[in-house]
């Protein structure tokens, strides 16, 4: 059913583009306007007239394909911050990125007020090593202003062959002047899961992104930890989702299913009731019901919020940290045919198993822990969140924005992490926040 729906959407989009391109067929458009809405077709006629006028009278001969691509970008980006058109090159590069290997700097970015905003640097990448921080605004790339570029165009400029350099001009809250950062590109092989044992009784698992390798990496982490710590000594697991910007929906579902014996993980609800979809846990709880603490913060977005929300609603984990980002919308990728790229269109909202909408509200932790921020970073350790983004989808309730996203580089200074360890060891007791799994959410 889903494939058919996507196919229909792709077909409708193709028809729409044909109408936009074939401006001269004005008589047919006018004839249909009476039945299909005069205002819409009047605007299409207006577009056709402007397109022809630009082609005929612009001071230099324009490139027709660039005019059309610019028009499409303008239409799609006017919808919300996450819908976008990808030309063929950008579409291929996105496929490379989700596979977990690409050439570039290693930062997750979004567009805000015409500038590129860093959501989070990826661990152990050139950007992270160069000191790029969540919340940084990139105003120039190699001396060229970002203003006026689409997100894909800006990302493409930052990507490139390994061992080549690029210079980013950064505006950072708390800094009086913009500053330049020179970064040498590398082949980015994103290892989405890192793990270790702590004190001989706790397994620590950090998930940095949700790409095609995430679930396999998680399964290996759980298996290795259980080999290192006998079941009778294993107090539980800490799953660290802080500053994880998200990724693939199917990976979020399968990661959640690795900790749940059964039950709903997330539902997506579109404009029409019949478009509602429910995704359920299928893999079985690989941890055999061991207690869990999940760490989240202002940089935990999208797929991270799905996992945190599912484990929280099923009483499977205690959430510790600060409120998450609030990116609760679904982008469906709609290929537009050979050579035409693809459309990433916001088609639905995410809801946790209990029916809580993530959009512009985020996930609130059971236990809020604020980190001690160094003096030189004070005022720059918060992420504004989805609710602060221009054109965002409104929340179904009170919008929440702004949350701390700072994570100390040294684990000994990480208050949230130590709180998680204490909870699992029984040192800290929080009444009403169960650690053992209790399936209270109906399937």
Distance CA 51, CA 117 (A): 32
Contact 414, 284 (CB under 8 A): no
Distance CA 166, CA 26 (A): 47
Distance CA 358, CA 296 (A): 14
180 assigned to active site: no
Contact 256, 281 (CB under 8 A): yes
- The encoded tokens of residue 320 equal 């510790």
- The encoded tokens of residue 16 equal 């729409």
Distance CA 121, CA 152 (A): 17
Nearest by Cα to 277 from 247, 305, 311, 306: 306
State the CB neighbour count (10 A cutoff) for residue 90.
20
Distance CA 177, CA 172 (A): 8
State the CB neighbour count (10 A cutoff) for residue 18.
10
How far, in whole angstroms, is CA 189 from its chain's centroid? 18
Out of 258, 327, 329, 405, pick the active-site residue: 327
CA distances (Å), origin 349, targets 78, 188, 239, 241, 266: 18, 30, 25, 21, 10
- The encoded tokens of residue 10 equal 């792709």
Out of 313, 382, 403, 405, pick the active-site residue: 313
Out of 302, 304, 324, 403, pick the active-site residue: 302
Give the three-state DSSP class for 393.
coil
327 assigned to active site: yes
Instruction: Go through the chain and tell me how many residues it has.
Output: 443
In DSSP terms, which residues pair with 357 in a beta bridge?
Answer: 351
Kindly list the catalytic residues. Answer: 302, 313, 327
């Amino acid at each position: 059913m889903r494939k058919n729906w996507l196919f229909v959407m792709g077909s409708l989009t193709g028809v729409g583009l044909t109408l936009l391109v074939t401006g001269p067929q004005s008589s047919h458009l006018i004839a249909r306007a009476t039945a299909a809405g005069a205002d819409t077709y009047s605007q299409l006629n207006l577009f056709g007239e402007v397109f022809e006028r630009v082609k005929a009278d612009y001071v230099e001969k324009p490139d027709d394909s660039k005019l059309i691509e610019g028009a499409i970008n303008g239409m799609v980006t006017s919808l919300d911050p996450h819908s976008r058109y990808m030309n063929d090159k950008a579409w291929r590069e996105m496929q490379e990125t989700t596979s977990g290997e690409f050439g570039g700097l290693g930062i997750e970015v979004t567009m805000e007020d015409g500038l590129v905003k860093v959501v989070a640097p990826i661990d152990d990448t050139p950007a992270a090593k160069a000191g790029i921080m969540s919340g940084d605004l990139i105003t120039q790339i190699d001396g060229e202003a970002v203003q006026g570029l689409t997100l894909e165009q800006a990302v493409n400029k930052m990507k490139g062959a390994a061992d080549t350099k690029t210079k980013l001009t950064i505006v950072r809250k708390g800094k009086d002047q913009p500053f330049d950062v020179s970064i040498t590109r590398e082949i980015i092989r994103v290892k989405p899961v890192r793990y270790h044992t702590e004190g001989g009784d706790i397994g620590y698992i950090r998930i940095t992104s949700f790409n095609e390798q995430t679930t396999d990496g998680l399964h290996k982490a759980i298996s290795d930890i259980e080999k290192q710590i006998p079941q009778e000594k294993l107090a539980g697991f800490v799953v660290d989702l802080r500053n994880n910007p998200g990724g693939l929906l199917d990976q979020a579902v399968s990661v959640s299913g690795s900790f749940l014996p059964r039950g709903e993980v997330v539902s997506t609800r579109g404009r029409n009731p019949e478009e509602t979809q429910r995704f359920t846990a299928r893999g079985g709880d690989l941890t055999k019901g061991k207690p869990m603490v999940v760490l989240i913060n202002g940089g935990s977005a999208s797929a991270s919020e799905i996992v945190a929300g599912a484990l929280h609603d099923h009483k499977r984990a205690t959430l510790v940290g600060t409120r998450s980002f609030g990116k609760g919308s679904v982008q469906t990728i709609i290929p537009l045919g050979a050579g035409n790229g693809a459309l990433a269109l916001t088609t639905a909202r995410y809801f946790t198993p209990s029916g809580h909408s993530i959009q512009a509200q985020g996930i609130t932790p059971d236990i809020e822990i604020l980190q001690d921020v160094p003096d030189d970073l004070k005022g720059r350790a918060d992420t504004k969140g989805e609710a602060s983004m221009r054109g965002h989808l409104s929340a179904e309730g009170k919008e929440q924005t702004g949350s701390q996203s700072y994570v100390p580089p040294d684990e000994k200074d990480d208050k949230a992490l130590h709180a998680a360890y204490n909870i699992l060891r029984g040192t800290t007791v929080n009444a009403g926040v169960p650690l053992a799994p209790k399936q209270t959410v109906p399937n």
